[in-house]
Structure 1
Amino acid sequence: MNLRKLILTENACYKAGKKITPKGIMVHSTGANNPYLRRYVGPDDGLLGVNQYNNHWNQDRPDGRQVCVHAFIGKLKNGSIATYQTLPWDHRGWHAGGSANDTHIGFEICEDGLTDATYFNAVYKEAVELCVYLCKLYNLTEKDIIGHYEGYQRGIASNHGDPKNWFPKHGKSMDTFRADVKKLLSEGAKPAESEKKKYYRVQIGAYSVKANAEAQLAKAKKAGFTDAFIKYD
């Protein structure tokens, strides 16, 4: 994950200063054919590129709307993929259009024309990794992740279809997304090879007479080394 930070301090949502205890994560996609982060995140930090229309979301009410999310995933000016955190994770966002604003972290994936598999796979992977990061941060599981459309079905979000309008075009769904998050969380729980416990054996003697070896073994066990043994070469 290529995680960066540019908090939208000029957005009215940030200025409201309300906090939440995150209980879940809501996945959104922007619904506009523009994969570049500079459309929503600004001003330019040298990596984003300049938004010539200055219609990014780091203003009081972008496009006259009360909208703000915790992060965006999309392209930098050089075409590489990144995640930009745009609100503190425990800040109450304006992304769900319902009570999920009080409980869920929300992030947007910048849509393109919805046909580029390379771009989709890259941002999908970035989104999975972001959710794994947030799950670990707030002790959540893949079961706590929903799409905006699922929030609507539960009565906690407005009537939007994202990201169901995009994921199936590339053989994915929120179910596969949750499964991929679960898999990565599980892999992260396993100790790395370098972290696995290693054992070192210490030889305390070498004897040509078996009785002497047995006598030394008895002394070792009496001293507390109950797993000591004799190896015959």
Structure 2
Amino acid sequence: MAYTNSSLVSYTKLSPNHSGQRTHSIDRITPHCVVGQLSCESICGCFTSPSRQASCNYGIGTDGRISLCVEEKNRSWCSSSNANDQRAITIECASDKSEPYAMNDKVYASLISLCTDICKRNGKKKLLWFGDKNKALNYAPKSDEMVITVHRWFANKSCPGNWLYARLGDLAAKVTANLGGSTSSTEGTLYRVQVGAYKSKANADAQLAHVKAAGFDTYMVQIGGLYKIQVGAYREKSNADNMMAKLKAAGFDAFITTESDASVSTLKSIDEIAREVIRGDWGNGADRRNRLTSAGYDYASVQAKVNELLG
């Protein structure tokens, strides 16, 4: 198999800490919390010393930029499992230093983009999260499927932290939607918690912001002419029940649904992004191009608007 690295990378510093070429094709993704709000350069820097005996394929810095530490063709030393690392792309994500090891919106958005890119280049149309160690590790993925695994299954660690662990169903659903695949599989239904349905996208946008401000990771889908605000995508209904209870305790009218469709884009307008670029929020040169592309924006359109505004 010919391996290619992600075009979303904005910084490369290859680590010597790896086992050479993989002995298994790529059919897993293992995201980690790096336990620090580090830049993508610093994440690679953690793995440059041979004495460290650790590495990862990719790092996502606190600003959302992505670095390459170990090429995809090689097995990194990341998840305390030779067998897992032989078949998994491992990703270290900037996070807080203590449980639940929360990650900011830029890191999570880049994780979605990077996982989508990894799946696409490896011919996958579905990213699966089972939420169960035995089920996941004993599952034989179909040729178009990728499976999420986590470090805590192989070592006495919290990694990737409870913040990301609670969102892995959402990560799988969003990546699968980006790939144009089905968010359900023969392994069962995905349960989502819904907190609003609106004819007006402006009203849906307001509710989305309200739910996010309350500390919940949420997203918007469009079904039957309505914009619906949902939280999570769980294979176990009990997990959806727990999330619904939390949302209700926070004052939201919530219920469980199995309805979903392609996520609705919540990207800002080209004009808004261009003004942020002028303000300096998106860096310069190749860094700007990579960050805008990773976030889902067309670089040429944004740059043209910047040139227009600057006259």
Q: Would you say the 8 A contact 1:67–1:94 is kept in 2? A: yes
CA distance in structure 2 between the partners assigned to 1:28 and 1:148 by the alignment: 7
- 2:175 matched residue in structure 1: 181
**TM (normalized to structure 1)?**
0.58
Per-residue Cα deviation, 1:116-135 (whole angstroms, up to 9, x for no partner) = 98x61111110011000000
Q: Which amino acid aligns with 2:10?
A: R
Q: Would you say the 8 A contact 1:147–1:163 is kept in 2? A: no
- 2:159 matched residue in structure 1: 162
**Deviation for aligned residue 1:147:** 4.0
CA distance in structure 1 between the partners assigned to 2:51 and 2:101 by the alignment: 31
After the TM superposition, which residues 7-26 of structure 1 pair with which residues of structure 2 at under 5 Å, given as runs? 7-9=13-15, 11-13=16-18, 16-20=19-23, 21-26=25-30
After the TM superposition, which residues 109-124 of structure 1 pair with which residues of structure 2 at under 5 Å, given as runs? 109-112=93-96, 120-124=104-108
After the TM superposition, which residues 70-81 of structure 1 pair with which residues of structure 2 at under 5 Å, given as runs? 70-75=57-62, 80-81=63-64
In structure 2, list runs of 5 or more residues that go unmatched: 1-6, 129-145, 182-261, 263-311
Change (3 A) 1:67 1:84: same
Q: For the pair shown, which has the larger CA radius of gyration, 1 or 2?
A: 1
Per-residue Cα deviation, 1:48-81 (whole angstroms, up to 9, x for no partner) = xxxxxxxx3112122xxx2111000013xxxx32
CA distance in structure 2 between the partners assigned to 1:2 and 1:12 by the alignment: 22
- 1:95 matched residue in structure 2: 78
Deviating 4+ runs (over 3 angstroms) = 113-117
Q: Would you say the 8 A contact 1:147–1:174 is kept in 2? A: no
**Deviation for aligned residue 1:87:** 1.2
Q: Would you say the 8 A contact 1:135–1:142 is kept in 2? A: yes
Q: Would you say the 8 A contact 1:149–1:164 is kept in 2? A: no
After the TM superposition, which residues 83-232 of structure 1 pair with which residues of structure 2 at under 5 Å, given as runs? 83-98=66-81, 99-112=83-96, 120-140=104-124, 141-143=126-128, 144-149=146-151, 152=153, 157-167=154-164, 172-186=166-180
Aligned residue pairs, count: 155
Structure with the largest fraction of strand: 2
Per-residue Cα deviation, 1:128-183 (whole angstroms, up to 9, x for no partner) = 11000000111232122324157x1xxxx323322242237xxx511111011111
CA distance in structure 1 between the partners assigned to 2:100 and 2:161 by the alignment: 14
Q: CA RMSD in A?
A: 2.8
In structure 1, list runs of 5 or more residues that go unmatched: 43-55, 191-233
Which secondary structure does the structure 2 equivalent of 1:28 belong to?
strand
Per-residue Cα deviation, 1:64-112 (whole angstroms, up to 9, x for no partner) = xx2111000013xxxx320111111121111111120121111110113
- 1:35 matched residue in structure 2: 38
**Deviation for aligned residue 1:5:** 4.1
- 1:59 matched residue in structure 2: 49
Does the alignment pair 1:3 with 2:5?
A: no
Q: Would you say the 8 A contact 1:128–1:177 is kept in 2? A: yes
Per-residue Cα deviation, 1:15-56 (whole angstroms, up to 9, x for no partner) = x423242121111111x23332333224xxxxxxxxxxxxx3
Change (3 A) 1:67 1:149: closer
Q: Which amino acid aligns with 1:131?
A: C
Quote the sequence identity (%): 18
Change (3 A) 1:12 1:164: closer
